[in-house]
Structure 1
Amino acid sequence: MASLKELRARIGSIKSTRKITSAMKMVAAAKLRRAQVSAEAARPYAAAMRRMLGELAAATKGEEGAPRLLAGTGQDKVHLLIPITSDRGLCGGFNSNVHRLTLQTIKKLQAEGKTVKLLPVGRRALNFFNREHADLIVDKVIGFSGKDVPFSVASDLGDKVNALLEAGEIDVCTLVFNKFQNAMTQTPACLQLVPMVMDETSVNTGAASVKAEDAAQYEFEPDEATLLAMLLPRNLQVQIYASLLETAAGENGARMTAMDNATRNAGRTIDSLSKVYNRTRQTNITNELIEIISGAQAV
């Protein structure tokens, strides 16, 4: 049995830890509201971009020389996966869910004879895949997690993807990230960026897909090809940015939940140790009294 001194030290250590986890929970809760508003505001914009490009793509369907961001390279041999995680931990299974889904996707693609490349976003993804698949990493993006996500991060990442595509180094590009549902639920999802997927229901954008026969007829100015050349790189950046915002909101929600659970567990542990401390103290007092009484009777 531990001594009273050891029990006091352990209780004091857990109380200090509880203060830290409680503070982290409050900080995450404060950041969550702003991050959630940003993520929810970006969803309709990203969905509208995809619908608009769907209309443009339908108007140019069958024409030769379609942009690679829309139609891809015509092959399906080299896949670029972009797992998006946080830079920091202490957020439960938030990052490990992305790692697991990415590993499953890598295994599936390699079993089909595909070549897989990785572009980790977030320090946790970089550290994990440096251990598991360091030979597949072609680039990285870190250092933005925990802050307001600037659009420049998505812009730079979109430029990297576009450069790899134009150089013929990749054929397909897919994001792997956590889609924010609420503070307790973040769902890992895959979003194919290249070639662009028109069926929005397959990527959980929250917007209903539009049937070709029900689509409105538009006249485009300038022509469709020019608009696609202008809008496709922008759409790539918007889709990446929306995913980064989903990740930021999910990270804060997962951290708030994890720190709340840690604070509760620390409180229960303190209560349990306090009972042990009191019982041990009472036992020691009782033993001392017995020794005093026994000595007095012996005299």
Structure 2
Amino acid sequence: MPSTKDFRDRIRSVSNTAKVTGAMQMIAASKMNRAQNMVQAGRPYADRIRDVLGDLAALAAKDEDAPTVDLLKVRPVKKTLVLLVTPDRGLAGALVGNLQRAAGKFIQETEGEVSIVAVGRKGERFVTRAGQDLVASFSVPDRPTLDDTIAVGRMLVDEYSSERVDRVVLIYAKFINTAVQEVTARQLLPVEPAQRDDDDVEKLEELDYIYEPSINDVLESLVPRYIETQVYHGILEAFASEHSARMIAMQNATDNANEIVEGLTLDLNKARQESITAELLDIVGGVAALEG
């Protein structure tokens, strides 16, 4: 059985680990609150621009004589570009593993060539280890702004507009709540028009909006902004998911460390009692020998 000194050393080591994980939990909680606020503030705009774009695309699709917007053209998919958004650091529970498994499954199930644009070091390393085609890698700060991510969106638009790829898909962790992060794969390009039936399209036409110079020109200007917004919001969702997952992981680690300390303390007390009992027996035995 280990000595009392061994138990004390283990208790000290685990206690120090609990202090570190507790501090990391508080830091992650602070960052999580800030990231959640950014996500909640950006969701209404991201959802609204998606709805507006869907309505415009539905109206444009009904006009067969109008030229098709480049970023709405559907081509046979021979090459797919994946924007993979992952954390830069680990210690986020199963989040990184789930993202990597989802990306690997998507690559295996996709017909044709697949290339990757990575945002985050974990995704970059995964793509390199897997031997996939890494087109570019980006890193963004903990408090990203639209200016920090606009280069990513413009690159995706350029790759699709130049017909180097036929489809662009975003894979990221969607923030649901503090305990739930959902790995999501969503097509960005070509932009899919909203599913509207004839009655809905007629209602849109009855609104009698005036588009200057035309719906297609508005779409030509709006779609790149839409892609930039969706990329930015996807990165915000990924950051909120990362900090939430890390906070939960560090909380679990701290709780487990405290439980280990309690168990080691109990074992230390047992070892001390056994040591004291053995010493008492030795003393009693010595006294008895002297008296005999």
Q: 1:278, CA displacement in angstroms? A: 0.7
> What is the distance in 1 between the residues matched to 2:154 and 2:262?
55
Structure 1, residues 53-101: CA drift from partner, whole Å, max 9, x if none?
A: 22222232234642332224x2211111111111111111112111111
Measured after TM superposition, the shift of residue 214 of structure 1 is 4.1
Given that 2:39 and 2:236 are in contact with CA atoms closer than 8 Å, whether structure 1 keeps it comes out as yes
Matches of 2:193 and 2:267, distance apart in 1:
62
TM-score when scaled to structure 2?
Answer: 0.91
Take 2:126 and 2:30, find their aligned partners in 1: how far apart are those partners? 28
How many Å separate the matches in 2 of 1:114 and 1:252? 35
Percent identity, aligned pairs only? 34
With over 3 angstroms needed to count, the CA separation of the structure-2 counterparts of 1:143 and 1:154, relative to structure 1, is closer
Amino acid in structure 1 at the alignment position of 2:108: K
Give the distance between the partners of 1:71 and 1:41, measured in 2 at CA.
Answer: 31
Counterpart for residue 209 of structure 2: 218
Residue 128 of structure 1 corresponds to which residue in structure 2? Answer: 126
1:169 paired with 2:164, answer yes
In structure 2, relative to structure 1, the CA distance for the partners of 1:291 and 1:83 (3 Å cut) is: same
Q: Per the alignment, do residues 266 and 63 of structure 1 end up closer, same or farther by CA in structure 2, a change over 3 Å counting?
A: farther
Alignment match, 2:79: 78
Match of 2:222 in 1: 231
Is 1:104 the counterpart of 2:102? The answer is no
Q: 1:157-215: CA deviations, max 9, x gaps?
A: 01111222233221000001111111100111111100112348xxxxxxxxx943443
CA distance in 1, matches of 2:194, 2:66: 22
Structure 1: gaps spanning 5 or more residues: 201-209
Q: Which amino acid in the other structure matches residue 53 of structure 1? A: L
Equivalents in 1 of 2:66, 2:134: separation in Å?
Answer: 33
Q: Deviations over 1:42-61 (max 9, x none)?
A: 11211111121222222322
Q: TM-score, normalised by structure 1?
A: 0.89
Residues 4, 213 of structure 1: alpha-carbon distance in 2 compared, 3 angstrom cutoff: farther
Contact 1:81 1:118 in 2 (8 A): yes
Deviations 1:18-41 (A, max 9, x none): 111111111111121221111112
Give structure 2 stretches of 5+ with no counterpart.
none
Structure with greater Cα Rg: 2
Aligned to 1:189: 184
Alignment-derived partner of residue 115 in structure 2: 117
* Partners of 1:86 and 1:93 in 2: CA distance: 12
- C-alpha separation in 1, matches of 2:93 and 2:180: 11
User: How far did residue 143 of structure 1 move?
Assistant: 4.5
Q: Which amino acid aligns with 2:219?
A: L
1:270 paired to 2:261: yes
Q: Which of the residues 127, 130, 154 maps onto 1:159?
A: 154
Match status 1:293 vs 2:280: no
From the superposition, tell whether residues 189 and 211 of structure 1 become closer, same or farther in structure 2 (CA, over 3 Å): farther
Distance in 2 between residues matched to 1:18 and 1:128, nearest whole Å: 30
C-alpha change, 1:99 and 1:211, in structure 2 (3 Å) is farther
The two structures, once aligned, show a CA RMSD in angstroms of 1.8
Partner of 2:46: 46
- Measure, in 1, the Cα distance between the counterparts of 2:57 and 2:166: 19
- 2:138 counterpart SS class: coil
Q: Aligned equivalents of 1:242 and 1:280: distance in 2?
A: 57
Is 1:26 aligned to residue 26 of structure 2? yes
Query: Separation in 2 of the partners of 1:211 and 1:141?
Result: 41
- Looking at structure 2, the residues matched to 152 and 129 of structure 1 have their Cα atoms a distance apart, in angstroms, of 26
What SS is found at the alignment partner of 1:137? strand
The question of 1:198 aligning with 2:193 is answered yes
Contact (CA 8 Å) 1:83, 1:176: kept in 2 or not?
yes
Alpha carbons 1:174, 1:190 under 8 Å: kept: yes
